[in-house]
Amino acid sequence: MERLGIAAEKRGEHGKGAARSLRREGMVPAVLYREGKAQSIKLSRKGLSRLINKVAGEQVMVDLEFPDGDKKLALLKSFQVDPVKGDLLHTDFFEVSLTEKIRVTVHVITVGEPIGVKRDAGLIQHAVREVEIECLPDKIPGKVDIDISKLELGQSLHVGDLKFEEGIKVLTDPKDVIVTVTAPIAEAAPAAEAAAAEAAEPEVAKKGKKEEEGAEKKEK
């Protein structure tokens, strides 16, 4: 698993006002979690942005490097972004130990174009996009690739089909479907409407005939 470093500082300021002040200074407030405890920290917005762009959603271990020489090994748990400006607002890290197993989720990436799509115009239906695993931090894969190029119409791949290194325990149900190739949607609606219209015509004609006969009787 890739391991990156980033400078961090402890912070004592809290609250919305303090957070806004930090952002004006080019810093991002963050929290480092460990065994139910939380430590408030801050990081450079530029450094953190480079980190997030580099990992691109993959799981990576981060060395949080403090000015006093202290280091904390952590995983980037989550981050918040301003929906309008796109600026980083807050991040959460989870401190880990290389000797303790942890539970994390990793993204599942499908690779290739299924035969059932390329040859038979089928549709890809994604179900599971990430799986939960348990392992030591240095065993965590950044992502999990699965080849779907051989799938034909009606075929699926399941969590149990994923391949992991030794020492990784998969917690997600192995029967859960990752991806399925389904048959194309038949354009049956126009044909059904035409058939219904044809079936209705005799009834209309018959009804019209009865009305005419009724009118003739009244005239007599």
| DSSP letter string, 39-87 | EEEEEEHHHHHHHHHHHTT---EEEEE-TTS-EEEEEEEEEEE-TTT--
Tens of pLDDT, residues 145-168: 999 999 999 999 999 999 999 999
Decide the pairing of beta strands 102-111 and 144-147: parallel
What does the pLDDT read at residue 16? 82
Would you say residue 211 has pLDDT above 90?
no
Confidence of residue 87 (pLDDT cuts 50, 70, 90): confident
CB 141 within 8 A of CB 164: yes
Would you say residue 3 has pLDDT above 50?
yes
The model's pTM: 0.73
Kindly list the distances between the CA atom of residue 115 and the CA atoms of 23, 74, 161, 164, in Å, as whole numbers in the listed order.
50, 41, 18, 25
Q: Tokens standing for 216?
A: 């003739």
d(CA 153, CA 122): 6
3 state SS for 123-178: EEEECCCEEEEEECHHHCCCCEEEECCCCCCCCEEEHHHCCCCCCCEECCCCCCEE
Q: Tokens standing for 39?
A: 């430590």
Would you say residue 215 has pLDDT above 70?
no
Q: Is 33 helix (H, G, I), strand (E, B) or coil?
A: strand
Query: What is the gyration radius of the CA atoms in the chain, in angstroms?
Result: 30
Tens of pLDDT, residues 95-110: 999 999 999 999 999 9
What does the pLDDT read at residue 189? 47
d(CA 150, CA 142): 24
Tens of pLDDT, residues 71-82: 999 998 888 888
What structural domains does the chain harbor? 3-95 (2.40.240.10), 102-182 (2.170.120.20)
Sheet (strand 177-182) strand order: 123-126, 177-182, 156-158
- Find the distance separating the first CA and the last CA of the chain, reported in whole Å: 98
Would you say residue 214 has pLDDT above 80?
no
* pLDDT average, residue stretch 182-195: 62
